[in-house]
Amino acid sequence: MARTADIEVVAPNFKRRLSGVTSTIVQLLPHQAQHLGIAALGPGLPRHLPKIAWWQAPGLLKRPARRRFRVWHARRNIEMLAGVILKSVLRAPLKLVFTSAAQRHHTWFTRFLLARMDCVIATSERSGQFLTVPHVVVKHGVDCERFRPPAERDAFPECTDLPGRFAVGCFGRVRHQKGTDLFIDAMIRLLPDYPDWTAVVTGRVTARHRSFHAKLRHRVAQSGLERQIVFLGEVPDVCPWYRRLHLYVAPSRNEGFGLTPLEAMASGTAVVASDAGAYAEMIVENVTGSVVCAGDGNALTEAIRRYMDNPGLAATHGRNAIAHAQKNFSLETEARAINSIYDMLWNASSTR
């Protein structure tokens, strides 16, 4: 457990259940901790993560050993509210930072909290358009050591018991928002003409979406394509599956940011995606993949067909995607950009 006096930045995580926000904190903090004293605060965090316990929270009312104030970096409304209370009510020496990924108009309460932040970060240009306060854009990154191209492409189908020579995949939670049904519809239309291709779906199915999942499987069964459209469920490690694909599809209807296309590109896989979230900002059209309008099943189908017609094009765009992801979307790049914002706040204070 970290010593409170040594902590310069606190990253609160007030939600026990795993979410995209929690995943961001878990991935970013070890990189940030290489350059400053940072710790998470909250439940459900892995043992290896730098963190402080709840009983240490009163120590936040005092200045850290090496700074005039700490940074409280929130990513949820409840965490913003806690920061405002600590700073404005309990007079803790804090500067408040908030990261916003939402692509919707904010409620009055969120706007109230945002107005009290010392700095606001948007995770994409698009999410920044919904902010009514000054902000900077820092796009999410991906772990390019974990999501990496294979030394030799993980053989498909040799390393699996699946049919075909080529694989197309759709990963993530199985639900309407994620457009899993759009992917299944496209596969039902396309695969009869492409017997060398197999479609792979992985991801968690929560209780709320079991009926949706069951309807998709029933639709596949009715099509007679059960051997070519495979539901793997939630796999222990998705990384090898990205490397086995020749094409990745991200058909979301809406997203906050959306990391799966980056994970695929870092793994050397071409991507067809909707323009939900930040997908259009991470994919280079006709270089690393293709982007279509969210919810447009026909456009999605035709974009996928182009790669099924020409697996060599998928391979070329997959190779292009590796360099693009490593140069522009690494976790190290994101961590450096966020740390520089903290430095800006500390430096501004020291010149007063």
Cis omega before residue 251 (within 30°)? no
**CATH number for 31:** 3.40.50.2000
Q: Are 324 and 336 within one domain?
A: no
Domain membership flag for residue 346: yes
Local structure of residue 194 (DSSP, 8 states): -
In a domain, 147, yes or no: no
Domain co-membership, 316 together with 340? no
Residues 320, 338, single domain; the answer is no
pLDDT over 60 at 352, yes or no:
no
25, 60: one domain: yes
Q: What average pLDDT score do residues 207-215 get?
A: 94
Question: Strand 94-100 vs strand 289-292: parallel, antiparallel, or unpaired?
Answer: unpaired
Distance, CA of 181 to CA of 158 (rounded, Å): 28
The total domain count for the chain is: 2
Kindly state whether residues 98 and 186 are assigned to the same domain: no
Contact 209, 231 (CB under 8 A): no
Is 84 found in the same domain as 202?
no
CB contact at 8 A, 266 and 144 = yes
For residue 164, the model assigns a pLDDT of: 79
d(CA 324, CA 326): 6
| Interval 173-187: pLDDT, tens | 999 999 999 999 999
Does residue 317 form part of some domain? yes
Helix (H) or strand (E) holding 165: none
Residues 305 and 223 grouped into a single domain:
yes
The answer on 335 and 321 residing in a single domain is no
217 found inside a domain: yes
pLDDT tens-digit series, residues 318-339:
999 999 999 999 999 999 999 9
* Domain co-membership, 190 together with 81: no
Q: Does a structural domain hold residue 320?
A: yes
Q: Is residue 175 one of the residues assigned to a domain?
A: yes
Q: Based on the domain organization, do 76 and 108 belong to the same domain?
A: yes
185 in any annotated domain: yes
Distance CA 246, CA 289 (A): 11
Q: Are 339 and 317 in a shared domain?
A: no
Give pTM, 2 decimals.
0.88
Instruction: Flag whether pLDDT at 159 surpasses 90.
Output: no
Q: Is residue 150 part of a domain?
A: no
> Sign of the CA dihedral 253, 257, 259, 261?
positive
pLDDT of residue 240: 92
Q: Which residues are CB-neighbours of 245 under 8 A, at least 6 positions away?
A: 156, 167, 168, 169, 200, 264, 267, 269
How would residue 350 be classed by pLDDT, with cut points 50, 70 and 90?
low
Q: Which domain holds residue 259?
A: 166-328
Q: How confident is the model at residue 351 (pLDDT cuts 50, 70, 90)?
A: low
- Tell me what pLDDT residue 154 has: 57
Looking at the structure, tell me whether residues 33 and 179 fall in a common domain: no
Q: Find out whether 289 and 272 touch, Cβ atoms under 8 Å.
A: yes
How far apart, in whole angstroms, are the C-alpha atoms of residue 347 and residue 352?
Answer: 9
